[in-house]
Amino acid sequence: MNKKEISAGGVVYRKGEDGSLQIQLIVDRYGKTTLAKGKMEAGETVEETALREILEETGMVGRIVEPVDIIAYTYQHAEFGPVDKEVHYYLVEAESGDLQPQIEEIKGVDWYAPEEAWTRQQQNGYDNNDNILRVALNKLGIKV
What would the pLDDT profile of 16-65 be if each residue is shown by its tens digit?
888 899 999 999 999 999 999 999 999 999 999 999 999 999 999 999 99
- Residue 59 resides in a domain: yes
Q: Is the pLDDT of residue 103 over 80?
A: no
- Residue 144 resides in a domain: no
Q: Is the pLDDT of residue 102 over 90?
A: no
- For 25, 94, 95, the CA distances from 18, given in Å and listed in that order, are 20, 16, 16
- Residue 109 resides in a domain: yes
Beta strands in 57-119 (DSSP E): 60-77, 81-97, 106-112
- Residue 16 resides in a domain: yes
* Greatest Cα-to-Cα distance within the chain, rounded to the nearest angstrom: 52
- Residue 71 resides in a domain: yes
Q: How confident is the model at residue 11 (pLDDT cuts 50, 70, 90)?
A: very high
Total domains present in the chain: 1
CATH code for the domain in which residue 130 is found: 3.90.79.10
- Residue 62 resides in a domain: yes
Single-letter amino acid code for the residue at 82: P
- Residue 86 resides in a domain: yes
pLDDT, tens only, 61-90: 999 999 999 999 999 999 999 999 999 999
Residue 26 domain boundaries: 3-139
What per-residue confidence (pLDDT) applies to 14?
A: 96
- Residue 124 resides in a domain: yes
